[in-house]
Amino acid sequence: MRSGLRERMPHPAPSRTLRPLEAEYRPRQPTDVLGAIRYQQRGAHDPTQTTADGVVWRAVRSPEGIATIAIRPGLRTVRAAAWGAGAAWALDQLPRLCGSDDDPEGFDASRHPLIDEVHRRRPDLRIGATDLVFDALASSVFEQKVTGLQAFGAWRWIVTHYGEPAPGPTPKPMYATPAEWRMIPSWAWHRAGLEPPQSRTVVAAARRRASIERAAAEATTGDDRDRVLTSLPGVGVWTSAETRIRAFGDPDAVSFGDYHVAHQVGYALTGSRVDDDGMRELLEPWRGHRQRVIRLIGASGVVEPRRGPRLHPEDHRNR
């Protein structure tokens, strides 16, 4: 049994009664559970995750089947209920989703006054993990080289039309990710607004799903996981890093090639924009915790003033 996770309380009734399995998780140290879990949400209308009345609802395609998990964070106790074939898996995985395996031991925030100040103010910041490698990879591919608005809209359309309805009393219709990404027709990707390079990458990765998930899970370092993930056509260092962050809660992953991250890091730490090389140099003293530094910068409230008009998304569906 995972440390801090109390024994599940199964009900003898079959799943058709919609009676859940229940569990409580007590973090060993103060943890921003909401922050750790909300990072996984892909836009305000993500069909796989939503928050209602202080409860986070997630629809997941676990290795044991579809599950819905409802999570209510408390001051010292996280309470959860889960429905569906994957309910037991979802409850067992809950501590990692909340950031239980993210250990800031050895992190030296004092190297920069801003990081030091935010770390003192936010010692509860943790990086959560879903352990759902393919879902993390697919959602990252959706977000390649487009605006968040475009990516989240495409994700919502595909998951809603080709995913599986979530079990349980969800606060709105929710869906787990598709079981057969390879069976989604080409016109559907176009209708969703996803570009052909991204859809081809998802479909090609789906053909190797089992081997990729196994190899990535067995890898012991970020570099090893990078080699596994970037062996897929269409998956580069940015997509690999995003996958590692979401699926494994990698505290050192850096999304090099991101349109915004390097500028944000540079402005927060030096007052000026930097490129990927500059960001690599700035973050090097924190190797092992570079994603943690990026999260702390995000929590700092320090934002570079806008210098021009916003980037407007392009719609290629009628071209």
Domain ranges of the chain: 15-103
pLDDT digit string (tens) for the chain, length 319 residues: 444 554 333 333 334 447 899 999 999 999 999 999 999 999 999 999 999 999 999 999 999 999 999 999 998 999 999 999 999 999 999 999 999 999 999 999 999 999 999 999 999 999 999 999 999 999 999 999 888 899 999 999 999 999 999 999 999 999 999 999 999 999 999 999 999 999 999 999 999 999 999 999 999 999 999 999 999 999 999 999 999 999 999 999 999 999 799 999 999 999 999 999 999 999 999 999 999 999 999 999 999 887 655 555 544 443 3
Q: pTM, whole model, 2 decimals?
A: 0.90
Asked if residue 197 lies in contact with residue 154, where contact means CB atoms within 8 angstroms, the answer is: no
15-103: CATH topology = TATA-Binding Protein (3.30.310)
The string of DSSP letters for 46-67 reads -TTEEEETTEEEEEEEETTEEE
Say which residues have a Cβ less than 8 Å from residue 32's Cβ, sequence separation at least 6.
99, 122, 124, 125, 126
Count of C-beta atoms within a 10 Å radius of residue 65: 18
Using CA atoms, how far residue 168 sits from 44, 45, 144, 165, in Å, is 21, 19, 33, 10
